[in-house]
Chain A
């Protein structure tokens, strides 16, 4: 087969990976998390609710704080937790996804550039952020970024939540970069040759012929990463950002930190994430199966 620079270079693996010992085991694909979520039964919140009910019962045997007290507290806080807490997580995820997609697409195109220097640099940054622990990246961004920047005499503050967004967008960027590279390379080389023989330039081939064939097959992995990102937003609590976990903890503190509150409050947060991510995961897997057959 003929080589198209940057498109079908000889196979180059990511970092070395230990093969699973069980040879018959299914190789985990990029959808492993989303597939797991999508395969959860839709009544998953029920056992969480049950656990939330039972926990205060067990705990109340010692203290006298009843299950009703716990749920009364949760009820009072629930609106606040949803609107000021969970929706802030959603906002963080949307911002991080937007930034990660834009820069990830650029990095992905860099990975298939005909320029070997650019290709190598893009590959390096992709692997760096793809293989670093998200929490480490978050802390580095938090500590390395100034709390404000001054451009042309205008001082722009960078709030902590914005740093959280940037920190989360970096691993997303790296993974979207891989999605773009993979999708472009999955288009048969024959398409490049047909376009080349019609005197299309490389740029035209990429933008007019190859990428339009990729958007559809990039959508499921893109949504997959969005679901993963959303589930990762509670990491921001470690940066002190006032998202749903931070607020839950503060709410429990203001309710005198009764241990009976733990499971109802965190169970509630779990159900919120489930309610948001479950439809996304189901839709992603459906799209993935639909597009998997084609070409």
Chain B
């Protein structure tokens, strides 16, 4: 008896790949643009498409198991896909938001606490001296302000 080769049901894997790309593309790419950063709608769209493709693959694996493969592996891949999406949202809407409330951070109208720290060349830089020194910019001879950017580091 000749065994017919079953269709690989690639759409399952394509769907999973779309979900994976959707989850991994946010930080290095879509978070760089204002329109796709605050609400990761492109990534959400990829999740919907990926889930849809996996749904089609699963449906035919179960409805026509003699033609399409993937009843078992498809279920596993689909669960993995849902887990990836779940982790994406857990990260974006919970883990990344676990920040200190910084209730005593200096407020608008208050004087910024002065400090002296080392720059990348090992020079001592004092905020008040920085404010008093010229910027060297052609359009302005004095410092009109300073932007302090605190960042997490460890890059």
A, B from the same assembly: no
Interface residues of A (CB under 8 A from B): none
